[in-house]
A and B are shown apart, each in its own frame.
Chain A
Amino acid sequence: MVLIRSGLLITILLGCMSMAAAKAKHPYDKYDHEMHNSFFESAEVSCEMCHADPDSYGNRKKVNRLGCHRCHNDPAPILPANPDCMLCHEAGIPKPQNHKTRWIAKHGSISKQAPETCKQCHPSTMFCMDCHKRRDTVQERMHTRNFRFYHSVEARANPRKCDSCHRVSFCQDCHAGKETSGR
């Protein structure tokens, strides 16, 4: 109880320090084309890198979306420039391309190759543990409520998946009536 109280106290103290919200902008709204033209000239960047589509001079939607990343977010930039993601992504960093399909099933393989790349957008490993390790029955998270009633079917279709997070004793305890997941 002492622990909970001291935790709460610290939390309340911190509550006094708050920050104001800022309005988010599209990256292009922060773009100073004139200033950049001088960089493009010195680094011999052609206009076509971003304006491959002739309509793009009048319509920002047709500009190469990832042109900015060539200098601002690239392991081998044409010209090194400010790599702070928040410089352009005030509203939050968008989902990367690899997240679009079957990400939940394949992120294990991808993260094992390059674990440091995840930190860029998921700086806290609690993000991972939220699904992998956190015990909580109050909120739906890793499994839906209905899952409890059909987990036997999924376990028999893909038992390997369960091993990513569960030990057999977890299954056995509950089947034996010692429900440890009541919390």
Chain B
Amino acid sequence: MLLKYFLFFMFMLLASASPLCASEFEAHSTVLGQSRESSGSQHVLPFNGYVGFSGKHEKWEGTTDMRFFRDFPRKEQDYDLYQALVRFRPLELLSMDIGRQFVALESSAETIDGVRMTLFPQEHLALDVYSGMPRSVEIGDFNEDDGLLTGMSLGLIKTKRTRARIFSSWRKNKFRLNDFPHNDEIFVGGNLSYQFPIKMMPLLYGVMEYNAAAKNIDTATAGFDLYPHRRISVNAEFSFADENSEADKKTVFSLFSQDAAYFASTAVTFELIPDYVDISPRYSFSRLKPSAEGWSNGHQLNVAVPVSFADLGLHLTPSYYFLQSWGGNVHGARLDVRETWQKWFGETSFDFSTHRKVTNDHDRSWSLIGWVGYTLLKEWELAAGMEYNRNNHFNNDVRASFRMSYNFGMKT
């Protein structure tokens, strides 16, 4: 708790002082509010306020992003710190990131509280070393059971066609527990891609992760991109996953799969009418073993037809989706529309889906959402939204929302 506030105040201080001394400064803030009924039919007014700053001065760079939550009728409040990071680059060859940060260098994408050091021993090499406690806003801050993640990764940078990285990481799931290997995951792996300098520009990529603590292959993925024509792009990917079943750490995967799992996916994007109409079907197949009783297959299909009239500021995306697993099946149709007209913009989405579940619920859901916004100055935006969501079994709700956002020099 104390540490959290300390970090927070440090960064507020840093952030408020930074416009004065930083050579580059960016800030953004958004307030989002909504009036709706909670699942217990109580009227609630959740407000989310986001603030972010980043400043750069010579060798120093600071970035922070946070969220304040308040619900007035329920008198609830909450606070999330998404990042609070100081980057120090004492030399061209070395950069250090200290604080709460998002790292996605090996088997997962995590927020950690820790240190990451990047060394550039040579023009085309980068060596990353990091260590910290993984954090999840979902279970609240600073839980000592969050464990420790330490890793190292060596990759090629600024290369033209070849990308490669080798990495290793060691994760303790509970910080203090010494119960190797149930409490530990040691990954070693590699990641490689190559774009062939020939006609269809095929790009091959692959990832392999081996859990040395449990002696099993955790992930193996291989895929390719292909551009047979200026207007066509194709992707296909095959993947294998198997987790250490002895591990203490429960994952969603370990709840639904008792063995290895296999995935295959493919997708194509055709530009039907260049600059106006695309069509992109996407399909994935999965095979896993949910229980001792046997294997089961999953299917996911999505077909979207984005249409844009850039001159009119109008973008429409109708899509169809289908999902099937042993949990049931889903058919859905969706339409997203966005229109920008001078300083105004409007967005609507309509979504309809029917579900047949193993629990014998055959329900249907509708969702209609609309937003209208106006840009006051280049950086100020005001918007108001309405929603109608209905599920014939579970809920029926109407919501009114507003959003105010402000951006100073921030690129997204």
Contacts and interface: CB of A to CB of B under 8 A. Distances in A.
B173 to A, nearest CB: 11
A133 interface: yes
B27 A183 contact: no
Contacts of A167: 136, 138-139
A128 B101 CA distance: 11
B181 interface: no
A100 interface: yes
A56 B100 CA distance: 51
B172 interface: no
Interface in A125-183: 125-129, 132-140, 144-146, 149-150, 152-160, 162-171, 179-180, 182-183
Given A14-B408, A135-B67, A144 B80 contact: no
Given A21-B378, A129-B102, A133-B111, A170 B265 contact: no
Interface size on A, as a range, is 35 or more
A6 interface: yes
Nearest to A180: B138
Contacts, number: 287
A7 interface: yes
B71 interface: yes
Given A101-B269, A124-B54, A157 B325 contact: yes
Contacts of B296: 156
B186 to A, nearest CB: 18
B65 A129 contact: yes
Contact of A150 (B126, B159, B205, B353): B353
A154 B34 CA distance: 28
B142 interface: no
Nearest to A116: B157
A25 interface: no
A129 B111 contact: yes
Interface string A55-97: 0000000000000000000111000000000000000000001
A99 to B, nearest CB: 9
A15 B298 CA distance: 51
B246 interface: no
A29 B132 CA distance: 49
The 6 closest A-B pairs by CB, nearest first: A157-B298, A157-B325, A156-B327, A156-B325, A102-B267, A145-B367
Given A18-B377, A101-B269, A105-B265, 17 more contacts: A75-B159, A101-B282, A105-B237, A106-B235, A106-B237, A109-B191, A113-B165, A115-B104, A123-B412, A133-B102, A149-B363, A152-B327, A156-B327, A162-B253, A168-B250, A182-B44, A183-B71
Interface of A: 3-4, 6-8, 10-11, 14-15, 17-21, 74-76, 97-98, 100-102, 105-106, 108-116, 122-129, 132-140, 144-146, 149-150, 152-160, 162-171, 179-180, 182-183
